[in-house]
A and B are shown apart, each in its own frame.
Chain A
Amino acid sequence: MRRAYFKNNWVAALMVAPQLLIVFTFFYFPTSQALYWAFTLEQPWGGGNTWVGFDNFTAILSDAYYWQSIWVSIVYAAGSTALAVIMALTLAIFADRQLAGYKLYRVGMIWPYAIAAPAVGLAFRFIFTPGAGMMMFVNQVFPDLWNPVDNGTQAMAMVIVAGAWKQVAYNFIFFLAGLQSIPRSLIEAGAMDGARVLRRMRDIQLPLLAPTFFFVLVINITDSFTDSFGIVDTMTAGGPSRATNLMVYKIFNDGFQGLDYSGAAAQSIILMILVIALTFVQFRYIERKVHYT
């Protein structure tokens, strides 16, 4: 690999300074603040604080609502990741087979990723609202079949669909790139060996897609833990009865609505540790099984 060397270290420092400044301001500074707050009792209106050690953590971990929030977060992560991966893979396979109009559709597929989460949430809120449109018709035919406002399972399903929809675009790009990097001659060899389309997909394309699959999985799970706030906030606000009260949303809710800064800070530290641990486990135990040379 080529490297650039600077004779003058000041020039190098100047080059990286803007990026470092951004990372510091928006990551290291808030993280260290949260870490500090997690071990203190912070006054909602500012002013002094008291060192309380692990009290915040014990309070959270003995709170049933917090465990419930972890559970719904896991459901959301599993649901939205599975849905996003399956949908993206299906679409990528179609695009890879170059069905009619695939070029147009390939570009169109990428757009949802550029839409901000709250906008996605708002759009799906309209689509899934029981009081208008498609779902109102469903309710007319089967009275009270669909009502995510008081049915927690339906609310969760709705949030999962919206979250997955946004993530599909991202996954699609990686799956398509992964599929297209499989040498054509392998598919042809499969055809000569008598394998038909679906068989080739199962025996050749999908196994060779495993590294991409793994990467997408890590990104999706992490993303569903950390980046789901906008969707929940616009669609359900954590409800009904905390059925969609994901960990990120609970942090926001406890911190900025409940003004329990210390508790929220402790929760965000736990969330961070959880995401780091998840990523570590995935790399440690799954990644080694998926590489071929």
Chain B
Amino acid sequence: MAHITIQNVRKSYAKTEVVHGVNLQVQSGEFVVILGPSGCGKSTLLRMIAGLESISAGEISIAGKVVNDLEPHERGCAMVFQNYALYPHMTVGDNIGYGLKVAGLPRAARVAKVAAVAASVGLTEFLDRRPGQLSGGQRQRVAMARAIVREPAVFLFDEPLSNLDAKLRVQMRHEIRRIHNQISATSVFVTHDQAEGMTLADRLVVMNKGVIEQVGTPEEIYHAPASVYVGGFIGSPAMNFMGGMVAPKQACVALENGSQIAIPAALAAAHAGRLVHIGLRPEALSLVPAGTGAFDATFDFVEELGPARLYHFRFEDVMIAVLSADKPPVQAGQPMGLKIAPEAVHLFAADTGKRLDAPALVQENVLA
């Protein structure tokens, strides 16, 4: 059991800084997912926790002990790599047991431990094979087993599922969560896949361009994205954005073409006259006859998703996506009304991109 404290951590390569002062507190036994696009510094952050990358500035401590200058194996972390990083010349059993062998565990104890861990991830009959003879999913299990067998206090995952096909990915996701619950290590999982992030995380950390945009439970992040970036990044299909100005009298945001989108009165009053971006989730919008909704948009085309349909509308110069189970109500090119509840509108400042309501909810998870 170990908590991780990351304080003001920076990473630079030569003159380029790629991680710009990150603060994060991971509770003992927690499953934290760091989510962000490629190049946002999430893997670098993970590798700094692991000790594979030096820390340019700031401090990382694990279980209360500063680890900046410790070797990787002294930090009590185990890591699952994106490409599994299995030793190709060793059998599955030797791969799993290598850490124990290096640690000097006697052979008998090692074999017993390896067998137990292999059984727990369903690898028993593969112990004598080489990694090259295994499928992608099996290799993934070996990588997991190799990490588990060392009974780490901290379990690090660097995009471990991105090389698997979609079905296997979901399956391994469940497996990872199950293993986490079983061994009660603190887990830090890096991914660019929001479905992985949303489903696995106790808490989600959204990173962008070397800074943390938001920390919160998946629910908080979905329902109260702290910035335009997070709003756009989390949620599939992605959030729709439009620009406008807060009109307190009508308790709405006035769009450029004169349409008005109602927002809660208190929020409108607090930000009167402010230029804003509004974010509308495709699933929060509903289709109504033209002229009866918040605004009218021109129906363009529809995508069949099975359980629902994704409608695409043109509104001024932007495309608006609406997720609805309804049958296509009109022909392409015809107008349609779109409706949204005032509470479902996300309001972001046009200049900073930050969310304008409920700052408390957003802030409480970020450590000062």
Contacts of A194 in B (CB 8 A): 73, 99, 102-103
Contacts of B50 in A (CB 8 A): 192
Chain A contact surface mostly: helix
Query: In the complex, what's the smallest C-beta–C-beta distance from A192 to chain B, in angstroms?
Result: 5
Contacts of A199 in B (CB 8 A): 102
Q: Are B89 and A292 in contact (CB under 8 A)?
A: yes
Q: Give bound CA distance, A192 to B89, whole Å.
A: 18
**Closest residue of A by beta carbon distance from B149:** A193
Question: In the complex, which residues 172-197 of chain A have their Cβ closer than 8 Å to any Cβ of chain B?
Answer: 183, 185-186, 188-196
Q: Give bound CA distance, A185 to B88, whole Å.
A: 12
Q: Are A293 and B85 in contact (CB under 8 A)?
A: no
Contacts of A193 in B (CB 8 A): 73, 98-99, 102, 146, 150
Question: In the complex, which residues 43-89 of chain B have their Cβ closer than 8 Å to any Cβ of chain A?
Answer: 50-52, 71-73, 77-79, 81-83, 85-89
Contacts of B81 in A (CB 8 A): 185, 188-189
Q: Give bound CA distance, A210 to B88, whole Å.
A: 12
Q: Are B132 and A189 in contact (CB under 8 A)?
A: no
Question: Is A203 interfacial (CB 8 A cutoff)?
Answer: yes
Q: Are B73 and A192 in contact (CB under 8 A)?
A: yes
Question: Is A275 interfacial (CB 8 A cutoff)?
Answer: no
Partner of B88 from A191, A192, A208 at Cβ < 8 Å? A208
Contacts of A133 in B (CB 8 A): none
Contacts of A131 in B (CB 8 A): none
Question: Is B339 interfacial (CB 8 A cutoff)?
Answer: no
Partner of B85 from A188, A196, A210, A292 at Cβ < 8 Å? A188
Q: Give bound CA distance, A199 to B104, whole Å.
A: 12
Q: Are A203 and B98 in contact (CB under 8 A)?
A: yes
Partner of A189 from B71, B85, B103, B130 at Cβ < 8 Å? B85
Q: Give bound CA distance, A193 to B87, whole Å.
A: 12
> Would you give the 0/1 interface string for B79-114, flagging 1 where the beta carbon is closer than 8 Å to chain A?
101110111110000000011001100000000000
Contacts of A203 in B (CB 8 A): 87, 98, 102
Q: Are B88 and A292 in contact (CB under 8 A)?
A: yes
Contacts of A196 in B (CB 8 A): 71
Q: Are A191 and B71 in contact (CB under 8 A)?
A: yes
On chain B, the number of residues with a Cβ less than 8 Å from chain A's Cβ atoms is 25
Q: Give bound CA distance, A188 to B80, whole Å.
A: 11
Question: Is A135 interfacial (CB 8 A cutoff)?
Answer: no
Query: In the complex, what's the smallest C-beta–C-beta distance from B93 to chain A, in angstroms?
Result: 14
Query: In the complex, what's the smallest C-beta–C-beta distance from B73 to chain A, in angstroms?
Result: 4
Q: Give bound CA distance, A157 to B178, whole Å.
A: 64
**Closest residue of A by beta carbon distance from B104:** A194
Partner of A183 from B85, B130, B150 at Cβ < 8 Å? B85
Q: Are A204 and B72 in contact (CB under 8 A)?
A: no
Q: Give bound CA distance, A195 to B85, whole Å.
A: 15
> Would you give the 0/1 interface string for A279-293, flagging 1 where the beta carbon is closer than 8 Å to chain B?
000000000000011
Q: Are A293 and B73 in contact (CB under 8 A)?
A: no
Q: Give bound CA distance, A262 to B84, whole Å.
A: 62
Contacts of A210 in B (CB 8 A): 89
Q: Give bound CA distance, A204 to B85, whole Å.
A: 11
Question: In the complex, which residues 148-169 of chain B have their Cβ closer than 8 Å to any Cβ of chain A?
Answer: 150
Question: Is A207 interfacial (CB 8 A cutoff)?
Answer: yes
Contacts of B132 in A (CB 8 A): 292-293
Partner of B52 from A183, A188, A204, A208 at Cβ < 8 Å? A188
Q: Are A191 and B83 in contact (CB under 8 A)?
A: no
Query: In the complex, what's the smallest C-beta–C-beta distance from B107 to chain A, in angstroms?
Result: 15
Q: Are B102 and A189 in contact (CB under 8 A)?
A: no
Q: Give bound CA distance, A188 to B73, whole Å.
A: 10
Partner of B77 from A186, A190, A192, A207 at Cβ < 8 Å? A192
Contacts of B103 in A (CB 8 A): 194
Partner of A208 from B89, B102, B150 at Cβ < 8 Å? B89
Q: Are A186 and B87 in contact (CB under 8 A)?
A: yes
Contacts of A292 in B (CB 8 A): 88-89, 130, 132
Q: Give bound CA distance, A223 to B227, whole Å.
A: 67
Q: Are B73 and A185 in contact (CB under 8 A)?
A: no
Q: A185-B81, A199-B102, A292-B130 are in contact. Are A191 and B87 (CB under 8 A)?
A: no
Q: Are B99 and A191 in contact (CB under 8 A)?
A: no
Contacts of A188 in B (CB 8 A): 52, 72, 79, 81, 85
Question: In the complex, which residues 275-299 of chain B have their Cβ closer than 8 Å to any Cβ of chain A?
Answer: none
Q: Give bound CA distance, A192 to B82, whole Å.
A: 14
Q: Give bound CA distance, A177 to B54, whole Å.
A: 26
Partner of A192 from B78, B83, B86, B130 at Cβ < 8 Å? B78
Q: Give bound CA distance, A194 to B97, whole Å.
A: 12
**Closest residue of A by beta carbon distance from B94:** A203
Partner of A207 from B79, B89, B146 at Cβ < 8 Å? B89
Contacts of B79 in A (CB 8 A): 188-189, 192
**Closest residue of B by beta carbon distance from A196:** B71
Q: Give bound CA distance, A55 to B79, whole Å.
A: 70
Query: In the complex, what's the smallest C-beta–C-beta distance from B35 to chain A, in angstroms?
Result: 21
Contacts of B52 in A (CB 8 A): 188, 191-192
Q: A185-B83, A293-B132 are in contact. Are A191 and B73 (CB under 8 A)?
A: yes
Question: In the complex, which residues 220-278 of chain B have their Cβ closer than 8 Å to any Cβ of chain A?
Answer: none
On A, residues with C-beta under 8 Å from B are 183, 185-186, 188-196, 199, 203-204, 207-208, 210, 292-293
**A to B CB contacts below 8 Å, 11 in the list:** A183-B83, A185-B82, A186-B85, A188-B79, A189-B86, A191-B51, A191-B52, A191-B71, A193-B98, A193-B146, A194-B99
On B, residues with C-beta under 8 Å from A are 50-52, 71-73, 77-79, 81-83, 85-89, 98-99, 102-103, 130, 132, 146, 150
Known: A191-B51, A203-B87; 6 extra A-B contacts, CB below 8 A, are A183-B83, A191-B72, A192-B50, A192-B78, A193-B102, A193-B150
- Which 3 pairs of residues, A with B, have the shortest CB-CB distance? A194-B73, A193-B99, A185-B85
